[in-house]
Amino acid sequence: MTVTCAQFKRDFLAEIKTLYATTLNDTSPLDQLIALGHLVRRYDGPNWAKTARAYQTQHRKQVYYFSIEFLPGRLLMANLLNLNLVTTVRHGLKELGLDLDQIRQAEPDPALGNGGLGRLAACYLDAMASLDIAGNGNGIRYRYGLFKQLFINGYQVEMPDDWLRNGNVWETRRENKSCIVRFGGHVWLQPQANGTLKPQYRDTDDVLAVPYDVGIVGYHNSVTNTLRLWSAELPPNADHTYYSQAQRDQIDDITKVLYPDDSNSAGQALRLRQEYFFTSAGVQSIVRHFCAHHHGMRTFAKQVAIHINDTHPTLVIPELMRLLMDEHHCSWDLAWALTRQVMSYTNHTILQEALETWPVALFQGLLPRIYQIVAEIDRRYRAQKTPVFGAALVDQTAPLGNGQVRMAYLAVIGSHSVNGVAPLHTELLKKDVLHGLYQVYPERFNNKTNGITLRRWVQLANPPLARTLDARIGNLWRRNPRLLKTLLAYQYDQGFLTELSQVKLANKQALAALVAQRLGLQIRTDAIYDVQVKRLHAYKRQLLHVFEILREYFQIKDQPTAPFVPRVHIFGAKAAPSYHYAKAIIKLINAVANLVNHDPVVGSRLKVVFIPNYGVSLAEVIIPAADVSEQISTASKEASGTSNMKLMANGALALATYDGANVDIIQAAGAKNEYPFGLTVAEVYRYYQRGDYRARDFYRGNPELKRIVDSLVDGTIPGISTEGREIYDSLLRYNDEFFVLADYASYVAQQRQISQDYQDQTAWQRRALANIAASGAFGADLAVARYADDIWQVPHDRLD
Ligand code: 475
């Protein structure tokens, strides 16, 4: 996109005048943001239209990425970057007396996700557009999204995140693309004159699904794809008097909030409603679009790929079956063949509680026609597979079992591809979680290691680093991050290593300023910034990190004058509202922060920073400032992790278990450039098999550890009488499900090593360099290219 600075200024002032009928000095940064957003959209509009047209005329196969979460982050800078407008806009605004960095802060973060799952979806949309893949996102436009997190007295308090209050300049309501989604009622199959059966519905609750489209701009390639987010409304022309307030509320509720509920149970029916709502609307719009440009359904699978991001959108399978059979007169066999060719599924977790199942009664009552189809999939699966694999295996893997609809099994059976998100995770799927289905369909299983977009996580989040890299290795890494490995030539270049530490210092200063402003806390910038940012979950073991803080605290208290390498421990994490234990950990972190941060003996040497309301925008400030990347999940539990990749690309060294993609990171950067520790998957599984893990033995055998565990209940840490006891019990009474005590010794050994190593800045920065250099292998473009080649079978641009 080429616009001169002068042109931009004229356009911007015109936009201000049109929107606000006033002059620039009468507008707020928010007004300016909205005007700028409109202008960017105007500049990009021709690309968006042209992209859609080109896909049609070229009969390009479309990829539809279905996800219950999308975490795109603020879009202004990302769009400017990808349109190559950053410099023009920055200068233009400056000449008008405005500051782009101030305006960009006025943009709210879309509250459409919770964690890695949603951020991955956003990285992949960006990568699809940048690789010229005809890729579409399909999700829910949550009115309040996830919650806004506050800490009150150290406790997490959830407030509605009213992110749409000032509208969303990036979205376009497409009411003419709406469709009806049916819930409940009764359905029966009516014989037709031609001998077929047609479902008839009575007493259904109909909901109007209205799409809001957001443009997803590709990097310097004039491609703009679409993220389609659905909002639930009253059907048009409905007799409004017919809808009770309760019914209206029920419709409103469907797209009101994202249920991040990892621990499940609460709001189960609503969750199922949400899932069917966006899958049905999405599939309807896909089929409608296809039919507008093709005759008959036979070529459907050549033109369409549908990706199921975790189990939440699995109902795309029976919904497509329904549409093909009920609306487009396909036979079961044709519909089933097309469905399997079109569908592919990514699993993101091996945690049993995150593999969704629905009680049959709930499912059948809410989705009677879909239930019939699932029951028929189940019947046929059993009939076909029992003779080959035996009743036991088939029973154990069928879509229906134990009175439940098993979403992950349905997803595998109805797809041609099932992938895990790191090699280790994929192996665990085959050997353990989906072992039965792996026996039935071994050819479907494959690995696609996650990736992140360095456009956002380095170019936008860390401009000083990006500039430093450009100066040494040229700027082609911006298109092809694999070129970052050429940095290795500078491993022994003292000047460059010094520059890297200056870059880190600048980023720490920025974070320290944010911490001072938000928390009123001073943190020194010569300390080690030890960062753990991710959802709060027992398996991620924020608790182990707290133990290290307590160890350091006791060390200082015991020997106040002994040398101590300063540390700042930085957390960002939200707990699912109903996840009681995770909330207890939040309270603990805040209580420890309170204790440590105000202790005069400790002074500035040790600080604990827990910044509330972690999200993409905060991550963009925290991650570039990190020295140490805490990736300390119990081996086998973290499917991949993606903050590990972002931190690596920003030069943090990983303190990491051999879990998820940590394994690949350690291998790519070299173990000597990271801090691996802890039980391996084999060791964890051995404990499971033998049943001989005794947390108490570790507690008793290590006085330092015992003191820390005891401090949870002996009054050392004020304010946690309830939570401290709960956590204490989880460790000793309930035998420490996530092996925190088992991993303590090897974890703190590496932490000690870190304190020692950090003092040699040259050696440290050399290892940071090794991490940055190796991070290109984890670029989202590479990951998405592998999906395109192996799973979706769509063409794409090459990176080199
Ligand atoms: C994994 N979220 C990471 C990341 O692949 C992985 C949301 C609602 C209900 C249940 N679960 C979720 C996730 O499961 C999730 O975010 N999974 C994460 O996906 C991308 O890197 O290891 O935990």
Complex confidence, ipTM:
0.97
Residue 572 scores a pLDDT above 50: yes
Place of tokens 């829910």: 140
Compute the distance from residue 553 Cα to the ligand 1 centre, in Å.
33
Out of 74, 540, 541, 605, which one is annotated catalytic?
540
Does residue 450's CB lie within 6 angstroms of at least one atom of ligand 1?
yes
Cβ pair 273, 254 in contact under 8 A: yes
Question: What does the block give as tokens for 463?
Answer: 């401009």
pLDDT in tens, 403-420: 999 999 999 999 999 999
Ligand 1 midpoint to CA 350 (Å): 10
CA dist., res. 279 & res. 299, Å (int): 21
Looking at ligand 1, which residue's alpha carbon is closest to its atom 15?
117
Using the mean position of ligand 1's atoms as its centre, give its distance from the Cα of residue 283 in Å.
23
Whether 653 shows a pLDDT value over 80: the answer reads: yes
Q: At what angle do helices 761-774 and 494-519 cross, to 10 degrees?
A: 90
Q: What are phi and psi of 127, to 5 degrees?
A: -70, -40
Q: Three-state SS string across 755-768, please? A: HHHHCCHHHHHHHH
Q: Is the pLDDT of residue 549 over 80?
A: yes
Cβ pair 350, 383 in contact under 8 A: no
Atom of ligand 1 nearest to the CA of 535: 16
Rounded to the nearest whole angstrom, what is the distance from the C-alpha of residue 308 to the centroid of ligand 1? 13
Mean pLDDT of 33-43: 98
Which residue in 575, 573, 591, 537 sits closest to 721, CA to CA? 591
Does the annotation count 535 as an active-site position?
yes
Q: Whole-number mean pLDDT of the chain?
A: 96
Cβ(684) – ligand 1 distance below 6 Å: no
Q: 212-244: b or e for each residue (b if 16 or more CB lie within 10 Å)?
A: bbbbbbbbebbbbbbbbbbbbbbbeeeeeeebe
Per DSSP (E only), the strands in 646-695 are 653-656, 675-676
Is 256 catalytic? The answer is no
Find the helix or strand (DSSP H, E) in which 332 lies: helix 332-342
Q: Which pLDDT tens digit goes with each residue over 662-671?
A: 999 999 999 9
User: Are 455 and 78 a contacting pair, CB within 8 Å?
Assistant: yes
CA 122 to centroid of ligand 1, rounded, Å: 13
| In 514-627, beta strands by DSSP E | 528-533, 567-572, 606-610
* 3-class secondary-structure state, position 28: coil
For residue 585, what are the contacts with CB-CB under 8 A and spacing of at least 6?
Answer: 536, 538, 542, 543, 546, 575, 723, 727
Clarify whether 302 is annotated catalytic.
no
Distance between Cα 297 and ligand 1 center (Å): 34
Average pLDDT on 526-546 reads: 98
Ligand 1 atom 9: the closest Cα is on which residue? 262
Residue 54 to residue 153: CA distance in whole angstroms? 56
Who's near 635: CB < 8 A, 6+ residues apart? 657, 658, 659, 678, 679, 680, 681, 683, 684
User: Which one is catalytic: 38, 143, 307, 348?
Assistant: 348
The model's pLDDT over 220-242, given as tens digits with 9 standing for 90+, comes to 999 999 999 999 999 986 666 67
For a pocket test of ligand 1, which of 68, 348, 614 has the largest count of ligand atoms closer than 8 A to its C-beta?
Answer: 348
Instruction: Return the pLDDT at 266.
Output: 45
H or E element, residue 447: strand 445-447
Pocket test for ligand 1, best of 114, 123, 347, 349 (most atoms within 8 A of CB): 349
Query: Is the CB of 139 within 6 Å of ligand 1?
Result: no
- pLDDT tens-digit profile of 443-457? 999 999 999 999 999
CB-ligand 1 contact for 120 (6 Å cutoff): yes
Where do we find the tokens 């033998």?
690
347 C-alpha to ligand 1 centroid (Å): 9
Residue 642 annotated to the active site:
yes
Alpha carbon nearest to ligand 1 atom 13, residue: 117
pLDDT band at 321 (very low <50, low <70, confident <90, very high): very high
Which pLDDT does position 353 carry in this prediction? 75
